[in-house]
Amino acid sequence: MSAVPLKISGVAKEFTASGRRHAVLAGVDLEVAAGEVVALLGPSGCGKSTLLRLAGGLDTPTAGSVLVDGEPVREFEPRCAVVFQEPRLLPWRTLARNVAFGLPRDVTGDRARDEVAHWLSVVGLADFARHRPRQVSGGMAQRAALARALARRPGVLLLDEPFAALDALTRLRMQDLLADVQREAGTTVLLVTHDVDEALHLADRIVLLGASPDGPASVRLVLDVPGALPRDRGDAGLAALRSSLLGELGVRTPAAVAP
């Protein structure tokens, strides 16, 4: 499937826990154009994962709408694929069988085998097709989870801190891999991350989600990241943007501290 747009309008989400209502999101508007990469940043607990789940049809909003390619998102939306912080692979299945699990139902037989081999090779796991999740590293398992998501050929790829549990070097490699795959497949991407540098490296736009004084979170800031992708990690032009984003997130930086 080719890239499709995602449109989130006036979305609110309330949870009821122990008999008390808890408003997490209110009035969230967010559009991701077809083929665009948007990074979603915000403090822990502000509702980023909740918003991503709503975008993928894994939960329903209390108010507002989520449109995938102009149509209301469905339960477990087939046009979207989600990658979580941990791989969530089936432990008794080989990596190849796990990736096959992501294929659309009408892809079977030789074509299924070819597609699985293709996606495993895209994420650098061609030699590990017959390994089981416990026989590979955390980074490799996460790459298999990415391959499973890509095998769906999703119109929208939803990523919830997919690299957060990886060591720093593996994380950088995975970011480059994602940039390559996104360029090749042209998929629309909504990437939840805590990592400002990851957002600056990968995203066309950065959306900051934050709580309002009365509780629920909404979009506080939308930034266009200058410079074409793939972006140089050492780009000095991004330093000011990095400082202001860290400042928004409550992290003091030398630039923010200086008088």
The residues binding ligand ATP (CB under 6 A) are 15, 17, 24, 42, 44-50
175 touches Mg ion (CB under 5 A): no
From the list Mg ion, ligand ATP, none, partner contacted by residue 46 (C-beta under 5 to 8 A by kind): ligand ATP
d(CA 16, CA 97): 38
From the list ligand ATP, Mg ion, none, partner contacted by residue 99 (C-beta under 5 to 8 A by kind): none
Q: What is the residue whose two structure tokens read 């122990």?
A: 18
**Minimum distance between the CB of residue 49 and ligand ATP, rounded to whole angstroms?**
3
CA distances from 82 to 23, 53, 88, 254 (A): 24, 8, 11, 36
Bridge-based pairing state of the strands 217-224 and 63-68 = unpaired
From the list ligand ATP, Mg ion, none, partner contacted by residue 61 (C-beta under 5 to 8 A by kind): none
Tell me whether residue 69 or residue 86 sits nearer to ligand ATP (CB atom).
86
**Minimum distance between the CB of residue 49 and Mg ion, rounded to whole angstroms?**
3
Give the full edge-to-edge strand order of the sheet including 37-41: 71-72, 63-68, 6-17, 20-32, 217-224, 205-211, 37-41, 188-192, 156-160, 80-83
From the list 46-54, 70-78, 123-131, 146-154, the region that binds Mg ion by CB under 5 A is 46-54
Count of C-beta atoms within a 10 Å radius of residue 79: 20
From the list ligand ATP, Mg ion, none, partner contacted by residue 11 (C-beta under 5 to 8 A by kind): none
d(CA 46, CA 217): 6
243 touches Mg ion (CB under 5 A): no
**Minimum distance between the CB of residue 205 and ligand ATP, rounded to whole angstroms?**
18
Could you list the residues that contact Mg ion (CB under 5 A)? 49
